[in-house]
């Protein structure tokens, strides 16, 4: 079996909710990064509890041997009147990430999303799907943002995401078709792929050449099915516990990990759960996920007839 080339980190969303603010509201930045260090992880995204002062953030991450891998960037490229403003904001975000040595920018269009679009909040209803002009504006904006990112040594990683205009498999396909692969990569997210109605493994295989960043997130399928029946929106699905960390839900990650290894993926893989930390202790579930992934790697080594078993991470630092 080919050698594992990707690195494993964790998203702070396991400890503190981003879309459901009450989740982990009293959790501190120090608790999050200390847990990551104890888990032996080496990468993190920035979250809402992280210091906004760059010197303080760098000092605290360096103390724990953590690399800042990325940070979410919302964009409103579907509104062409905001293009210049959005690109300037994107440039500033890219400059920030480049100063930390990050290589990817997690990017998501929020126009048309009842949860994220500032023009629609409180309006109710489902996602406002894009028409032909909307797709054109989005693709053009992303290509321009991708050029900005590339000029700073970064890659735009588009995050297909539940509750947005790019969540379904056909929407992921269309976005990849309309954007320039030189400037726009894909943030492949197993949980959001499933949420959007896709087979996560099929999405990975179909767009392997565009994948520049990975989020591994599990799904409790019975919970998702019941939420769908009840007409629950995206935040309500999070509150109900639709998402969890790998190994605690119903997705099979063995073929996904095997595919990542086979394709020679050498970027970051971030563990995500996005569940209530009061009900699902983040450290415990992250540790369980790491044991699960290491077990998968051992099984893949055994399946290939190779006696060498390589842990993807897990050397405790504390």
pLDDT on residue 309: 56
Task: Give 67's pLDDT tier (boundaries 50, 70, 90).
Answer: very high
Q: CA nearest 105: which of 142, 139, 66?
A: 142
* Mean pLDDT, rounded, for 6-16: 97
Q: What is the pLDDT of residues 81-126, one digit of tens each?
A: 999 999 999 999 999 999 999 999 999 999 999 989 998 876 778 9
For residues 179-200, give the mean pLDDT.
Answer: 98
- pLDDT classification of 163: cutoffs 50, 70, 90: very high
- How much is the pLDDT for 318? 44
Ordered structural domains, the chain, with CATH: 7-303 (3.20.20.150)
Res. 173: pLDDT tops 70 = yes
Mean pLDDT over 205-231 rounds to 98
H or E segment to which residue 156 belongs: strand 155-159
Q: How far apart are CA 269 and CA 108, in angstroms?
A: 18
Percent of the chain topping pLDDT 70? 95
Residue 4's pLDDT is: 86
In degrees, rounded to 5, the angle at the alpha carbon of residue 97 between the alpha carbons of residues 93 and 103 is 120
With a pLDDT cut of 90, the percent of the chain lying above it is 90
- Angle, nearest 10°, between helix axes 169-178 and 132-151? 60
**What's the pLDDT score for residue 1?**
44
Is residue 261 classed exposed, middle or buried when 0-12, 13-18 and 19+ CB atoms within 10 A define those classes?
buried
Confidence grade of residue 313 (pLDDT, cut at 50, 70, 90): low
Which residue spans within 191-312 are E strands per DSSP? Answer: 211-219, 243-244, 268-272
* C-alpha span between 121 and 257 (Å, rounded): 37
pLDDT, one tens digit per residue, over 50-59 is 999 999 999 9
**Residue 269: strand, helix, or coil:** strand
Give the separation between CA 95 and CA 23, rounded to whole angstroms.
30
Query: Distance between CA atoms of 4 and 263, rounded to whole angstroms?
Result: 10
Q: What is the mean pLDDT of residues 202-221?
A: 98
Q: Residue 129 has which token pair?
A: 């799907």
Is there a contact between 270 and 312 (Cβ–Cβ < 8 Å)?
A: no
Whether residue 79 is predicted with pLDDT greater than 90 in this model: the reply is: yes
pLDDT, position 303: 87
**Model confidence over 231-256: pLDDT tens digits?**
999 999 999 999 999 999 999 999 99
250 DSSP assignment: S
Query: Judging by DSSP bridges, how do beta strands 211-219 and 243-244 pair with one another?
Result: antiparallel
pLDDT digits (tens, 9 = 90+) for 280-309: 999 999 999 999 999 999 999 988 775 455
Cα-based distances in Å from 231 to 125, 173, 227, 273, 293: 10, 25, 6, 22, 33
Residue 77: closest CA among 68, 66, 89: 89
Answer yes or no: is pLDDT of 178 > 90: yes
Q: Is the pLDDT of residue 23 over 50?
A: yes
The predicted model scores a pTM of 0.95
Q: What is the average pLDDT across 65-74?
A: 98
H or E element that contains 203? helix 200-206
């Amino acid at each position: 079996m080919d050698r594992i080339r990707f690195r494993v980190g964790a998203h702070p969303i396991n400890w503190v909710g981003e879309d459901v603010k009450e989740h982990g509201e009293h959790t501190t930045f120090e608790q999050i990064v200390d847990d990551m260090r104890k888990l032996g992880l080496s990468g993190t995204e920035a979250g809402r509890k992280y210091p906004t002062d760059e010197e303080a953030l760098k000092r605290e991450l360096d103390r724990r041997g953590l690399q800042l891998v990325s940070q979410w960037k919302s964009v409103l490229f579907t509104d062409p009147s905001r293009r210049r403003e959005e690109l300037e904001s994107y440039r500033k975000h890219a400059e920030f990430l480049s100063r930390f040595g990050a290589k990817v920018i997690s990017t998501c269009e929020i126009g048309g999303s009842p949860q994220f679009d500032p023009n629609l909040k409180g309006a109710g209803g489902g996602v406002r799907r894009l028409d032909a002009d909307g797709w054109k504006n989005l693709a053009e904006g992303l290509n321009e943002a991708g050029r900005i990112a590339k000029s700073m040594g970064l890659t735009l990683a588009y995050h297909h995401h539940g509750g947005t205009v790019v969540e379904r498999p056909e929407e992921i396909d269309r976005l990849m078709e309309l954007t320039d692969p030189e400037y726009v990569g894909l943030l492949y997210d197993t949980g959001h792929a499933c949420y959007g109605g896709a087979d996560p493994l099929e999405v990975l295989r179909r767009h392997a050449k565009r994948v520049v960043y990975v989020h591994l997130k599990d799904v409790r399928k019975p919970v998702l099915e019941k939420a769908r029946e009840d007409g629950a929106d995206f935040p309500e699905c999070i509150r109900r516990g639709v998402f969890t960390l790998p190994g605690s839900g119903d997705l099979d990650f063995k073929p996904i990990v095997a595919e990542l290894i086979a394709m020679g993926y050498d970027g970051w893989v971030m563990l995500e759960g996005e569940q209530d930390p009061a009900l699902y202790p983040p450290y415990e579930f992250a540790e369980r996920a790491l044991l699960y992934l290491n077990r998968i790697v051992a099984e893949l080594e055994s399946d290939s007839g190779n006696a060498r078993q390589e842990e993807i991470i897990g050397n405790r630092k504390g």
